[in-house]
Each structure stands twice: as C-alpha cells, then as structure tokens.
Amino acid sequence: MLTVFILCEHPLFARGLDHLLRQERDVEIVGVATEEENALTQIRKIKPDVILVEADHGRPDPGTLLSTLVQERGEGRVLSVSFNRNEAVLYTGRRWKATRARDLIEGIKRTQVVS
C-alpha cells in the first residue's frame, strides 16, 4: 500500500486529488492539508511514502518548501504538481506531463524512492 499526503492550497483541487487517488486499491490517502504549517507537522508525524505538493502553493518560491520536504525525508517521494501547466514534476528533476488523471496516478506509482 502506497501512502500519500496531499498539500494543495486550493480546497477544490485538494478534494479532487483526494477523490481521484482514493479510487486506487493500492493507494491510501493519509492526509490532506491546504496550509503549509499544518501540513509539515502532519507529514513529520505520518511519514507518508509520497507527498503531493501544489507547485504554485501560494509562495513566491515553492522550491523552498519542496527543498525542505526533500531534505527532511531521507527517503520517500516528493511530487510537485502544477495545475496551471497540466504537468506533474518529480522534484528530483524527472519531469513528465500529466495530461490525464491516469498519467498522474501512474507517475505517483512509478517514481523511484528518493534516497
């Protein structure tokens, strides 16, 4: 079972991602947050396999949040999703375009663990 935490500033998108991923038998949503501070506390406690972060998460530099998450993780996956460009970006630099919901789901499942 792949555990996933969703951090998305827009509640509608967060609920949509939550609903989409809950349809997958091998994915368990372990948290959803719309505020960074609350999310970081939960992520540190839960330690999900995958953290799905909105790239445009209301910050002038979303890379800082992603850097913090990756550095703290040790292992795990941090995925950045941009809703404006219809693409998903694995923070470690591998980039793919998710033009369909299925693309995003497969990307989450196939990405390698960051170590």
> What is the gyration radius of the CA atoms in the chain, in angstroms?
13
Angle between helices 101-110 and 11-22 (to 10 degrees): 70
User: Is residue 91 in some structural domain?
Assistant: yes
CATH number of the CATH domain containing 83: 3.40.50.2300
User: Is residue 87 in some structural domain?
Assistant: yes
Amino acid of residue 14 = A
Nearest of 111, 57, 52, 48 to residue 79 by alpha carbon: 52
User: Is residue 14 in some structural domain?
Assistant: yes
User: Is residue 115 in some structural domain?
Assistant: no
Whole-number Å distance between alpha carbons of 2 and 25: 9
User: Is residue 43 in some structural domain?
Assistant: yes
Look up the pTM and report it.
0.79
The parent domain of residue 32 ranges over 2-110
List per-residue pLDDT tens for the chain, 115 residues long. Answer: 899 999 888 888 889 999 999 999 999 999 999 888 888 889 888 988 888 887 765 554 545 665 666 666 655 677 777 766 666 665 555 666 677 778 778 878 876 544 3
Q: Specify whether the CB–CB gap between 7 and 54 falls below 8 A.
A: yes
Domain count, the chain: 1
